[in-house]
Amino acid sequence: MSDQSIDAQQYTAPYEAWPGVSAAPDCYYLTLHQGYQVSLSGWLDNDGGFDEPRIKFMGKTGPQYATAITPEQREHIRHFVGVAKVTQFSDEQRLRGREVQWFPERKYGGRAYMVLFTDNTYTVGEHLARIGHTFPGVDKDSRTRLYILGRVDKLSEGVVRDIFSDPKVLEIWETGSRWL
């Protein structure tokens, strides 16, 4: 276990379930305490790789972070000292006012975008067919929780709106060239 989590008896962030039946039952917002950010997501948006998400005190507060996680992961992350609250959300709430999030440790020359799905069995091809776009270098047969649009100057507002029109899109993150 990383140094970012502490004993359950010492700290547990409150959890607010969606009233009634949620259209996105495994989707949550993490509200962070003042000064904390998600610096590397770990299992917050990957099925492998890092053992733990990295929630660090970095001097400024990151945005409310949306993620698709299991109930076990949700209960585990409630014990991270930087997490102020975990809130389940539904499709209607999630589709209002979404913006591209900036990756807090972007220190690289190139720009890319990570598009994260709520369902890790959803194919990129299904997503692209739904939004009516194709992107160079994006594998349509990929079954992952995300895909990366690399070496892009800036996504237009129309393309961002089209990507977010897919209810299986959780978030779009602007990232650095390290992810290319």
Domains of the chain as residue ranges with CATH: 15-95 (no CATH), 101-179 (3.30.70)
Strands (E), the chain: 15-16, 27-32, 36-40, 54-57, 65-68, 83-88, 101-102, 111-117, 146-150, 169-176
Place of tokens 């089209």: 162
Answer whether 0.85 is exceeded by the pTM: no
The dihedral built from the CA positions of residue 128, 133, 139 and 141, taken in this order, carries a sign that is: positive
Pairwise CA distance, residues 57 & 64, whole Å: 15
Question: Phi, psi (5° rounding) for residue 2?
Answer: -80, 170
- Name residue, tokens 């709520």: 118
pLDDT in tens, 51-63: 677 777 777 776 6
Q: What is the pLDDT of residues 116-156, one digit of tens each?
A: 887 767 888 899 999 998 888 888 777 777 788 876 777 78
